[in-house]
Chain A
């Protein structure tokens, strides 16, 4: 089965510019997650979708971050405007259900550098 696909793999932008990341989950996975991983840290959840509904966006900085999951499949995460502190790896993951014993499968991530 094809894995979680993310693009782009790398992105370098200047601060105050907008940026968007795209994720295609594993076919049939109805739960989709966006995590941010800073260097030397574990992934931190930004938002979780069950189908097209954002069921937990409590950790998403809503002043500059937005996300959508149209039709409950692909998802886009946007930052506008980007700040230096947004430099990190943005990971998308998906799972069969939102239940506790369904493992997460991660994409390769997008490494964002804000200069």
Chain B
């Protein structure tokens, strides 16, 4: 079982809709969770971090964490074409406490 799993997509949503990205992780002891956005040909950039159960909102982005279900999600409200990118879920885990990435979900927002 991979440590961080994401649906690779592509996920296609119309402009203005809510995009919902999901991630599950295997290490029950993980305490830190991140969402990175990666445009094609570019490096990952951090957009959200979350450490406790519940929701965390930042502008149009909301991260949700459920440690009991080992589940992290990212909601993007009022999706824009500029949100089209690959979204990487990352979790601090493993015996060394390293940042482990999922393979990413490709999001396409259609005008």
Count of residues in A whose CB is under 8 Å from the partner chain: 22
CA distance A98 to B42 in the complex (A): 24
Q: Which residue of A lies closest to B51 (CB)?
A: A101
Partner of A40, one of B43, B51, B92, B103: B103
A42 touches B103 (CB 8 A): yes
**A-side interface residues toward B, CB under 8 Å?**
33, 40-45, 48, 55-56, 58, 91, 98, 100-101, 103-109
A42 touches B43 (CB 8 A): no
B44 touches A43 (CB 8 A): yes
Count of residues in B whose CB is under 8 Å from the partner chain: 24
Q: B31 — which chain A residues lie within 8 A by C-beta?
A: 100
CA distance A67 to B45 in the complex (A): 24
Partner of A45, one of B4, B42, B100, B103: B100
